[in-house]
Copies of this chain bind each other. A is one copy, B any other.
């Protein structure tokens, strides 16, 4: 909110629901603001858009400014326009969800932000404005999207085990999956490349590492994601 100098559009904001996979569960990134109206309360990272940037660009900039998060997968979710959703005046907000691998990003609070942390998605109730609704809608969309787009990969490190991937899917859709059936399906998509590498330092049989076939993925995107988990 320190962009008056840069010609911001004061009735249009962007809010981002950043999902990350940490501690074997799905978490969401919240920040604390320095200033009112939500000084010292955990909330979704958000901000006003600038006169000369697109909505996507605004989302990217806001994430970088508030929490030092870059180079992410973004998807527009919904635009929230309840008349009184913002207390001071009419502000409509465009909600995005973003997916990142928390290991790749050290969270540094940025401009106008005092803190940035990961929270379990179930522990976020009571956020200001309509942020609870926004998170909810983003979660619903993530659950849909993950079945038709291989975006789950965005949340994992480059090399991962099949069990990692399965746990990720389970934590998104909130259901237990059968190990053998999951492996069959996910390998049949042809999007995984098995590596000649294995886990190290685990006190049980070391799992094989896989990476994601970026080339096939790009093709799939062009063909409208014609696959399903």
Please report the C-alpha to C-alpha distance between residue A193 and residue B55 in the assembled complex, in whole angstroms. Answer: 45
**Of listed A51, A52, A55, A82, residue having the most chain B CB within 10 A:** A55
Check B90 against A9 for contact (C-beta < 8 Å). yes
Partner among B49, B78, B81, B90 whose Cβ is within 8 Å of the Cβ of A81: B49
What residues on B are CB-neighbors of A55 within 8 Å? 79, 81, 92
**Of listed A51, A55, A81, A83, residue having the most chain B CB within 10 A:** A81
A133 within 8 A of B: no
- The residue in chain B whose Cβ has the minimal distance to the Cβ of A54 is B81
A40 within 8 A of B: no
A213 within 8 A of B: no
- The interface size of chain A toward B, counting residues with CB under 8 Å, comes to 20
Please report the C-alpha to C-alpha distance between residue A51 and residue B82 in the assembled complex, in whole angstroms. Answer: 10
A199 within 8 A of B: no
A53 within 8 A of B: yes
- The residue in chain B whose Cβ has the minimal distance to the Cβ of A7 is B90
A191 within 8 A of B: no
Closest Cβ of chain B to A210, distance in Å, is 30
Closest Cβ of chain B to A17, distance in Å, is 16
Q: List 26 A-B contacts (CB under 8 A).
A: A9-B11, A9-B90, A11-B11, A11-B12, A12-B12, A12-B92, A49-B81, A49-B92, A51-B83, A51-B90, A52-B83, A53-B83, A54-B81, A54-B82, A54-B83, A55-B79, A55-B81, A55-B92, A56-B81, A58-B81, A76-B78, A76-B79, A79-B79, A79-B94, A81-B94, A92-B94
Taking A11-B11, A55-B81 as known contacts, 20 extra A-B pairs with beta carbons closer than 8 A to each other, sorted by chain A number, are: A9-B11, A9-B90, A11-B12, A12-B12, A12-B92, A49-B81, A49-B92, A51-B83, A51-B90, A54-B81, A54-B82, A54-B83, A55-B79, A55-B92, A76-B78, A76-B79, A79-B79, A79-B94, A81-B94, A92-B94
The 10 closest A-B pairs by CB, nearest first: A55-B81, A79-B79, A79-B94, A54-B81, A51-B90, A52-B83, A54-B82, A12-B92, A54-B83, A76-B78
